[in-house]
Amino acid sequence: MLRLHLAGPLLVPYLSIAECDIEGYTIPSGTRVFVNAWALSRDPSFWENAEEFIPERFLNSIAPDYNGNNFHFLPFGSGRRICPGINFAIATIEIMLANLVYRFDWEIPADQAAKGGIDMTEAFGLTVHRRRSSSLFLGSHKIK
């Protein structure tokens, strides 16, 4: 999910303090540069089936470096402007997700299931969010 559905499509802007060359493009000193993390995380030259949610892709390989060193996977940004909450997020996301899966029965409403499931079409802006809202039915587990 961190690769396909980033919270923000662009990283915090960088200001070039000196002229530099990036893959044949000259970036003059004083230029404000925006990194399109959304495009990098969906680059078909790096990711096989880039538009598909395939969590198994990370099982047979070394887990991707989310600390900003792998420039095809930047869910938290990189460098001095990396998200200050990265350690908190990584420490809590698995626990939160495991509790949600454990404590609730998840069901897609019949009208959405008939249309093929949840519509994940994105709308772009300052943040990336789903174009249409969806609902899920949650039933509590009876814990024995």
Rounded to two decimals, the pTM is: 0.58
CA 52 to chain CA mean position, Å: 13
Segment 119-141, tens digit of pLDDT? 777 776 666 666 666 666 666 66
Average pLDDT score, the chain:
78
CA-to-CA separations, 122 to 1, 2, 97, 127, in angstroms, rounded: 13, 14, 22, 10
- What average pLDDT score do residues 46-72 get? 73
Q: Are 34 and 10 in contact (CB under 8 A)?
A: yes
Q: Tell which residue, 61, 64, 82, has the closest CA to residue 3.
A: 64
Domain segments of the chain as ranges: 1-83
Q: Is 20 annotated as a binding residue?
A: no
